[in-house]
Amino acid sequence: MASRQELSDFLASVERRAFKHAVYAVRDEDAALDLVQDSMLKLSERYGDKPAAEFPMLFQRILQNTITDHFRRQKVRNTWVTLFSAFMPDDDESGDRDPLETLDAQDGTERARSAADEVERAQIMRAIEDEIKRLPPRQREAFLMRYWEDMDVAETAAAMGCSEGSVKTHCSRATHSLAAALRAKGITL
């Protein structure tokens, strides 16, 4: 049985990556935060007494299911929203951006780099993230779980509910798609 500290450490270690996973899938930061919060609550409430070693796979499965549920709900909601969309004002998210967030993000290990390097690096990161968002959902899930969450093929297959062969295929296709897309943008890693 996992202790409170083990669960806390696990959530702290995974929360940022989970947020990014959700953002890549739903492309909306606020929705992604809600999804991560829901996933954390589900893991804690339903599986908080499981061994800590099972947390990574359980959490990934919960997160993927929560994202899928989000899309299902959104599909129903969009049917109504489109009916009234003509009467709604346009969202302008650029207005509430805090310039201090940018300063905050530049703190820490990145200080030593020059401004030009910093901008170039940020552009590359953005390009990579954009291409990851464009991947088909299953390929993206498999790629991120295998190579970012450090899950092995069997764990990824269990979390995705598919065969190990499918995981390997998804990962391979995702890698080739990403490489080709980045090469087309003139980015070499």
Partner 1 sequence: MNEQQFAQEIRRSLDESAARLPYRVSHRLELARNAALARQSTTEVQRVNVPVGALAGAGASSGSPEHTVWWRLAVTLVPVLVVAVGLMVISVWNDTETADEIAEVDTAVLTDEVPLSAYTDRGFGVFLKNSRQ
Q: Which residues bind partner 1 (CB under 8 A)?
A: 1-2, 4, 7-8, 11-12, 15-17, 19-20, 29-31, 33-34, 36-38, 40-49, 98, 101, 104-106, 108-110, 121, 124-125, 128-129, 132, 143-144, 146-148, 171-172, 175, 178-179, 189
State in angstroms the smallest separation of the CB of 158 from partner 1: 20
State in angstroms the smallest separation of the CB of 25 from partner 1: 14
- Judged by CB, which is closer to partner 1: 104, or 152? 104
State in angstroms the smallest separation of the CB of 189 from partner 1: 4
Burial 163-173 (b: 16+ CB within 10 A, else e): eeebbeebbeb
Gap between the Cα atoms of 60 and 82, Å rounded: 32
Q: Using only C-alpha atoms, what is the Rg of the chain? A: 19
Residue 158 to residues 25, 53, 67, 129, 166, Cα–Cα distance (Å): 20, 14, 17, 25, 11
State in angstroms the smallest separation of the CB of 110 from partner 1: 8
Gap between the Cα atoms of 138 and 185, Å rounded: 24
